[in-house]
Homo-oligomer: A and B are copies of this chain.
Amino acid sequence: MKKADKFVKNAAGRMVPTIINGEQVIPFKGINKYKPAHKGSAPRVPTCIEYPRDGNKIVKNLKQALKQAGLKDGMTISTHHHYRNGDYVSNMVFDIAAELGIKDLRWLPSASFPCHAPIIEHLKSGVVHHIEGSMNGPLGNFCSHGKMKGLGYLRSHGGRYRAISDGEVHIDVAVIAASAADMTGNANGVLGKHPFGPISFSKTDVKNADKTIVVTDSLVDFPCYPWEIMGNDVDYVVTIDEIGDPEKIVSGTTKITKSPDRLLIAERCAKFVEAAGILKDGINFQAGAGGTSLAFVHFIKDMMLEKCIKARSMVGGSTKFLVDMMEEGLTDYIFDGQTFGLEAISSLRDNPKHIPIGIFDIYDFHAKGNMAQMMDVIVLGSTEVDVNFNANCVTHSDGRMLHGIGGFQNCLLAKCTILAVPSFRDRIPVIKDEVTTLVAPGELVDVIVTERGIAINPKRKDLIEATKNSGLPIKDINEIKEEVDQICGIPAKPKLSDEAVAVVEWIDGTILDTIRKVEDS
Give me the interface of A with B, judged by CB distance under 8 Å: 32, 35-36, 38-55, 57, 165-167, 184-185, 212, 221-223, 225, 227, 230-235, 282, 284, 312-313, 333, 335, 352, 355, 360-361, 364-371, 373-374, 413, 415, 508
Which of A32, A48, A165, A231 counts the most B-chain CB atoms under 10 A from its CB? A48
Can you list 5 residue pairs at the A/B interface with Cβ under 8 Å?
Answer: A46-B368, A47-B508, A232-B367, A232-B371, A235-B368
Mostly, the A contact residues are loop
Contact A355 B32 (CB under 8 A): no
Contact A54 B231 (CB under 8 A): no
Beyond known contacts A221-B282, A232-B361: 13 more, CB 8 A cutoff: A35-B50, A39-B45, A42-B42, A45-B166, A45-B366, A46-B366, A52-B369, A53-B373, A54-B415, A222-B312, A223-B312, A231-B369, A232-B368
Shortest beta-carbon distance from A467 to chain B in Å: 21
Residues of B within 8 A of A50 (CB): 35
Shortest beta-carbon distance from A183 to chain B in Å: 10
Residues of B within 8 A of A52 (CB): 369
- Distance in angstroms between the alpha carbons of A406 and B41 in the assembled complex: 29
Contact A360 B232 (CB under 8 A): yes
Contact B43 A40 (CB under 8 A): yes
A207 — nearest CB in chain B belongs to which residue? B207
A234 — nearest CB in chain B belongs to which residue? B368
- Distance in angstroms between the alpha carbons of A185 and B212 in the assembled complex: 31
Contact A333 B223 (CB under 8 A): yes
Which of A165, A184, A227 counts the most B-chain CB atoms under 10 A from its CB? A184
Residues of B within 8 A of A55 (CB): 369, 373-374
Residues of B within 8 A of A43 (CB): 39-40
Contact A57 B369 (CB under 8 A): yes
